């Protein structure tokens, strides 16, 4: 007897729709892209050619029959996009093994994770279709793996047709041959499955999309996926037809809903967001505007104003520090120190609010035109980060006065300015007496979330965090935090990971369950400049939720270069799961560390390679590619491969860093990092220590300042 159509909802729907309704704005220009049931640009269950606009993000949750998917898609470059996805298939063992079920057959719900990549090789033109080549589940065990070539052409402004060829699971219905030879057996060790690509049977798929109006779209497709494992082997639902039909409703510029009839047996539902990070939910940026530059009086009109006798006055320095601090206070710029000669003044400052580093430098330069005596011609502006002088921007006061209202003034000034190593401080450097020592504390809500978890689009806990920070001197900080959970949907700990490795990450749920309240961190740290272009860090204490010990780091970041080199060495012990002070529960100590290379690729792209020993004792490397967008968003993807890959699975995922100023529309340095990591294993696990040097300093390096130099005059 055929199974009846089923519909199932979960946390993912509530989170996705809630997010869209919270930040949705009135409809603007359509992107013309719709996501399929795999969260990629496509038809219903089949892919299509095309891409989201550059920098866009897509979020989707879909359900049909026993299958639920949660997907994050990201447009990493105009020619490249990717997706991270979890798939849950219910009733997995109902028809195959009761009552004696073992291994994967013992699962009532089967969880799978997928990483897809799509290469957009041809843009649609008046004559030619768009063409996309896709690789599905390139790191998985093979259940979701497949490849395709899809071509899409708009025959009218509202009607588009798609045709394509699929391999792997996209060739299990209507196959027409195997032109490139047989398909190798899938790997189960998390390695790249490139040896399977475009091998084995190939099958055609096709579909049509009709945009009835700006709100409604109808779709129909012929699917080449027979769902052999789910339908034939596991009998979780029936595939009675290769034809799928659906209708979609565009609720707002970002949010779309869809309802479908799939495979002649199931009702499907989908919700999707296509998010444009360049559009702020709150509209235009707020905050205080810049103060106009104040030109000096001409020497011929007042020669005494240009005298350097003021440097011998002992009261000059504290007065200048106090006045500069008051002048810059509304911009969120904190004056830390001041030194000078008769013709040169150096201001060391901390940016606590402005999200563009070059903008903070520009605000300091404007303030100096108001308050520095006329004899001062050279401005040396030194940004400080955790007490570390990150770089030195040297500009002429004459250029600041002359270029404020000229065309292309940012580019012209950058051609005349110098960004160099901070160097040693001047002999008469004086610190702001209001800065050190400094104690701050706060109680605020927190959200510790994990996305794309097996069985849940979002899991984690929310509650209150008590945080303290004591800055004893430049670069010397004692800080800590305590958390108390108010709500959690974290499941029952699953027990041993089965990897044979120490449970350095697989017991994370135990820490969440047992540690309430919990001492999250408690550390003492030192950051400093130890030589030309050379920086150091030492951090000791309870470094993260699961480990405590000592972490040391050194970074060589030559000014004006696109590269940097670093090394980190740690000796840590695994903490008790109750969130207290103890280490005895695991009795696990491990030395760990990495050597790291950093390369600025230009256009906002950054590459990082880390080689060394991880927390579980495994040896290997992590490659991270990050793109920083003009609005402050950061999007990174990483892959870790170690000598324990086959035991614990390679770690791969996506990191998104959202600036809070994007959400609020007000100046703010805070960011919200989000890690999308469908599988958390013990292999490739790295210590999560705060304030690593490159992360702290890169935005104030010459490359980092150059990327946002256009905001110097803002």
- pLDDT 10s digits, 121-138: 999 999 999 999 999 987
The answer on pLDDT for 140 being more than 50 is: yes
194/324 same-domain check:
no
Residue with more model confidence, 470 or 115: 470
Q: How many residues does the chain have?
A: 714
The enclosing H or E element of 218 equals strand 216-222
The SS3 assignment for 206 reads: strand
Provide the total of helices (H) and of strands (E) in the chain, helices listed first. 10, 32
Asked if residues 474 and 384 have their Cβ atoms less than 8 Å apart, the reply is yes
Task: For residues 619 and 598, give the distance between their C-alpha atoms in angstroms, rounded to a whole number.
Answer: 20
User: Residues 51, 192: one domain?
Assistant: yes
Q: What average pLDDT does this structure show over 652-678?
A: 70
Nearest one of 474, 462, 500, 358 to 419, comparing CA atoms = 358
Mean per-residue pLDDT for 471-490?
90
Co-location of 442 and 430 in the same domain = no
Q: Are residues 524 and 540 in the same domain?
A: yes
Q: Is the model's pLDDT at 281 over the cut of 80?
A: no
Shared domain for 412 and 443, answered yes or no, is no
Note whether residue 5 is domain-resident.
no
Residue 8 is predicted with a pLDDT of 40
CB atoms within 10 A of CB 688: 14
d(CA 200, CA 346): 67
Look at residue 96 and tell me if it is in a domain.
yes
Find out whether 312 and 292 touch, Cβ atoms under 8 Å: no
Query: What is the C-alpha to C-alpha distance for residues 25 and 276, in angstroms, rounded to an integer?
Result: 11
Q: How many other C-beta atoms are found inside a 10 Å radius of the C-beta of residue 177? A: 10
* CA 221 to chain centroid: 34
**Shortest CA distance to 262 belongs to which of 285, 283, 238, 284?**
238
**Which pLDDT belongs to residue 13?**
42
Rounded to whole angstroms, the Cα distance separating 69 from 453 reads 11
Local structure of 411: helix, strand or coil: helix
pLDDT at 616 over 90: yes
Contact predicate 708/359, CB 8 Å: yes
Q: Is the peptide bond before 128 cis (omega within 30 degrees of 0)?
A: no
Host domain of residue 351: 303-434
- Same domain for 522 and 654, yes or no, is yes
**pLDDT score recorded for residue 619:** 94
**Whether residues 259 and 222 fall in one domain:** yes
Conformation bin of residue 240: beta by default, left when phi > 0, alpha when psi is -120 to 50:
alpha
418 pLDDT more than 70: yes
The answer to whether 486 and 464 have CB atoms below 8 angstroms apart is yes
- With contact defined as beta carbons under 8 Å apart, do 193 and 187 qualify? yes
Nearest to 73 by CA among 13, 112, 115: 115
pLDDT (0 to 100) of residue 524:
97
**CA gap 18, 10 in Å, rounded:** 13
Q: How many domains, the chain?
A: 3
Residues of the chain with pLDDT > 70: what percent?
85
* Nearest Cα residue to 182 out of 204, 166, 167: 167
Q: How is residue 8 written in tokens?
A: 């199932």
pLDDT value at residue 4? 42
In a domain, 234, yes or no: yes
Name the CA radius of gyration of the chain, rounded: 29
Reported confidence tier of residue 647, pLDDT bands at 50, 70, 90 = very low
**CA 225 – CA 42 distance, rounded (Å):** 14
**pLDDT of amino acid 97:** 80
Given a cut of 90, whether residue 37 has pLDDT beyond it is yes
| Tokens representing residue 195 in the block | 């040896």
Going from the C-alpha of 169 to that of each of 143, 224, 252, the distances in angstroms are: 8, 8, 34
Q: How far is CA 151 from CA 18, 148, 202, 245, in A?
A: 34, 10, 16, 20
- DSSP strand E in 352-474: where? 378-385, 388-389, 392-396, 418-420, 430-431, 438-453, 456-473
Q: For CA atoms 446, 452, 453, 455, give the dihedral sign.
A: positive
Mean pLDDT, rounded, for 686-693: 93
Count of Cβ atoms closer than 10 Å to residue 619 Cβ: 11
CA distance 424 to 411: 28
Q: Give the pLDDT score at 3.
A: 46
At 563, is the secondary structure helix, strand, or coil?
strand
pLDDT average, residue stretch 292-312:
92
Whether residue 123 is found in the same domain as residue 32:
yes
Q: What are phi and psi of 323, to 5 degrees?
A: -70, -40
For tokens 């590269």, what's the residue? 563
Q: Is residue 215 part of a domain?
A: yes
Question: 198-207, 501-510, 562-571 — which is least confidently predicted?
Answer: 501-510
Residue 434 pLDDT more than 70? yes
Q: Tell me, yes or no, whether 252 and 310 share the same domain.
A: no
The mean pLDDT of 486-490, rounded to a whole number, is 79
> What tokens does 103 get?
């291994």
Same domain, 662 and 535: yes
pLDDT digits (tens, 9 = 90+) for 315-328: 999 999 999 999 99
Residues above pLDDT 90, as percent of the chain: 57
**Residue written as token pair 């309802």:** 259
Confidence of residue 84 (pLDDT cuts 50, 70, 90): confident
What pLDDT does 664 receive? 67
The CA distance from 200 to 292, in Å, is: 68
Tell me the CA distances in angstroms from 484 to 5, 510, 697, one per residue in order. 43, 15, 32
Q: 648 versus 615: which is more confidently predicted?
A: 615
- Beta pairing, strands 130-136 & 266-275: unpaired
Look at 93-102, 353-362, 417-426, 663-672 and tell me which has the smallest mean pLDDT. Answer: 663-672
Per the model's pLDDT, the better-predicted residue between 414 and 196 turns out to be: 414
Q: How far is CA 61 from the centre of its chain?
A: 20
Asked if residues 480 and 690 have their Cβ atoms less than 8 Å apart, the reply is: no
268 pLDDT tier (thresholds 50, 70, 90): very high
DSSP E strands, 37-127: 57-64, 67-77, 80-90, 109-122
Judge whether residue 2 has pLDDT over 80: no
164 vs 548: CA distance, rounded Å: 53
pLDDT, position 6:
41
Helix (H, G, I), strand (E, B) or coil at 19: helix
Residue 573 lies in a domain: yes
Nearest 5°: phi and psi at 437? -75, 160
Which CATH number is 352's domain given?
3.30.300
Cα dist. 40→13, 202, 373 in Å? 17, 20, 60
Helix (H) or strand (E) holding 86: strand 80-90
pLDDT > 90? residue 64: yes
CA 65/CA 265 separation, integer angstroms: 8
Checking if the pLDDT of 676 tops 70, the result is: no
Q: Which residues are within 8 A (CB) of 128 and not within 5 positions of it... i.e. 6 or more apart?
A: 122, 153
77: in domain: yes
- For 198, the token pair is 């475009």
Does residue 561 have a cis bond before it (omega within 30 degrees)?
Answer: no
Cβ partners under 8 Å of residue 127, min gap 6: none
pLDDT at 457 over 60: no
In angstroms, rounded to a whole number, what is the distance separating the alpha carbons of residues 661 and 281? 10
The first and second tokens of residue 119, run together, are 């290469």
Q: What contacts 24+ positions apart, CB below 8 Å, involve 284-287?
A: 284/665, 285/661, 285/665, 285/666, 285/667, 286/665, 286/666, 286/667, 287/353, 287/666, 287/667
**For the domain that residue 240 is a member of, what is the CATH number?**
2.40.160.40
Domain assignment present for residue 363? The answer is yes
Return d(Cα 258, Cα 105) in angstroms, integer. 32
Task: Clarify whether residues 658 and 572 are in a common domain.
Answer: yes
Three-state secondary structure string covering 665-714: CCCCCCEEEEEECCCCCCCCCCCCCCCCHHHHHHHHCHHHHHHCHHHCCC
More confident position, 81 or 448:
81
In a domain, 286, yes or no: no
Q: Which of 37-46, 321-330, 440-449, 513-522 has the lowest mean pLDDT?
A: 440-449
Rounded mean pLDDT of 646-662?
Answer: 66
**Per-residue pLDDT for 697 more than 60?**
yes
Q: Which residue has the higher pLDDT, 456 or 233?
A: 233
Q: For residue 521, what is the enclosing H or E element?
A: strand 518-531
Residues 39, 52 contacting (CB under 8 angstroms):
no
Query: Residues 253, 336: one domain?
Result: no
Confidence label for 453 from pLDDT (cuts 50, 70 and 90): low
Q: What is the mean pLDDT of the chain?
A: 86
């Amino acid at each position: 007897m055929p199974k009846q159509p089923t519909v199932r909802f979960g946390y993912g729907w509530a989170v996705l729709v809630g997010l869209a309704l919270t930040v949705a704005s009135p409809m603007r220009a359509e992107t013309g892209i719709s996501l399929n049931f795999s969260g990629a640009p496509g038809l219903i269950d089949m892919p299509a050619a095309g891409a989201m606009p550059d920098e866009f993000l897509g979020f989707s949750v879909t359900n049909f029959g026993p299958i639920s998917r949660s997907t994050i898609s990201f447009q990493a470059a105009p020619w490249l996009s990717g997706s991270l996805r979890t798939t849950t298939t219910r009733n997995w063992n109902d028809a195959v093994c009761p009552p004696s079920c073992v291994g994967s057959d013992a699962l009532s719900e089967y969880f799978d994770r997928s990483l897809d990549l799509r290469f957009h090789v041809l843009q649609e033109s008046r004559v030619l279709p768009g063409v996309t080549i896709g690789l599905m589940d390139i790191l998985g065990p093979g259940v979701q793996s497949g490849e395709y070539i899809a071509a899409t052409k708009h025959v009218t402004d509202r009607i588009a047709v798609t045709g394509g060829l699929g391999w792997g699971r996209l060739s299990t219905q209507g196959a027409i041959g195997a032109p490139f030879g047989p398909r190798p057996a899938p790997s189960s060790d998390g390695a790249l499955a490139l040896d399977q690509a475009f091998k084995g049977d190939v099958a055609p798929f096709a579909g049509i999309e009709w945009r009835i109006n700006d709100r409604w779209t109808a779709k129909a497709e012929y699917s080449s996926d027979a769902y052999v494992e789910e339908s034939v082997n596991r009998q979780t639902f029936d595939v009675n037809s290769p034809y799928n039909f659906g209708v979609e409703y565009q609720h707002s510029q970002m949010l779309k809903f869809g309802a479908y009839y799939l495979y002649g047996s199931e009702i499907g539902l989908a919700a999707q967001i296509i998010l444009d990070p360049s559009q702020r939910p709150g509209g235009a940026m707020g905050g205080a505007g810049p103060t106009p530059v104040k030109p000096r009086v001409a020497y011929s009109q007042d020669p005494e104003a240009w005298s350097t006798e003021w440097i011998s006055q002992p009261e000059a320095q504290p007065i200048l520090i106090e006045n500069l601090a008051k002048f810059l206070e509304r911009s969120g710029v904190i004056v830390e120190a001041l030194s000078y000669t008769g013709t040169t003044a150096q201001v060391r400052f901390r940016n606590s609010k402005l999200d563009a580093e070059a903008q903070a430098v520009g605000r300091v330069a404007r303030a100096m035109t108001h308050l520095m005596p006329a004899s001062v011609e050279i401005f040396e502006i030194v940004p400080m980060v955790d007490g570390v002088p990150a770089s030195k921007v040297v500009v002429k006061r004459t250029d600041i006065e002359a270029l404020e209202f000229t065309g292309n003034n940012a580019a012209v000034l950058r051609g005349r300015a110098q960004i160099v190593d901070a160097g040693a401080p001047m002999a008469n450097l004086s610190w702001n007496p209001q800065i050190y020592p400094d104690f701050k504390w706060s109680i605020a809500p927190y959200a510790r979330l994990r996305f794309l978890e097996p069985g849940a689009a979002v899991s984690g806990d929310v509650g209150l965090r008590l945080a303290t920070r004591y800055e004893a001197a430049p670069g010397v900080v004692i800080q800590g935090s305590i958390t108390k959970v108010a709500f959690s949907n974290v499941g029952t700990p699953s027990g041993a990971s089965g990897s044979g490795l120490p449970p350095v990450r697989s017991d994370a749920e135990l820490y969440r369950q047992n540690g309430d309240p919990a001492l999250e961190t408690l550390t003492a740290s030192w950051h400093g400049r130890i030589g030309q272009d050379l920086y150091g860090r030492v951090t000791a204490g309870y470094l993260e939720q699961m480990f405590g010990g000592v972490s040391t780091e050194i970074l060589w970041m030559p000014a004006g270069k696109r590269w940097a080199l670093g090394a980190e060495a740690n000796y840590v012990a695994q903490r008790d799961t109750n969130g207290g002070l103890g280490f005895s529960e695991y009795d696990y100590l491990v030395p760990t560390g990495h050597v790291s290379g950093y390369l600025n690729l230009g256009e906002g792209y950054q590459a990082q390679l880390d080689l060394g020993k991880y927390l579980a004792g495994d040896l290997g490397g992590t490659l991270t590619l990050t793109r920083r967008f003009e609005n402050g968003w950061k999007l990174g993807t990483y892959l870790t491969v170690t000598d324990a890959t086959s035991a614990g699975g390679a770690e791969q995922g996506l990191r998104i860093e959202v600036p809070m100023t994007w959400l609020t529309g007000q100046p703010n340095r805070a960011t919200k990092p989000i890690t999308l990591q469908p599988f958390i294993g013990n292999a490739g696990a790295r210590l999560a220590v705060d304030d690593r040097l490159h992360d702290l300093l890169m935005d104030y390096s010459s490359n980092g300042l150059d990327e946002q130099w256009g905001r110097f005059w803002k």
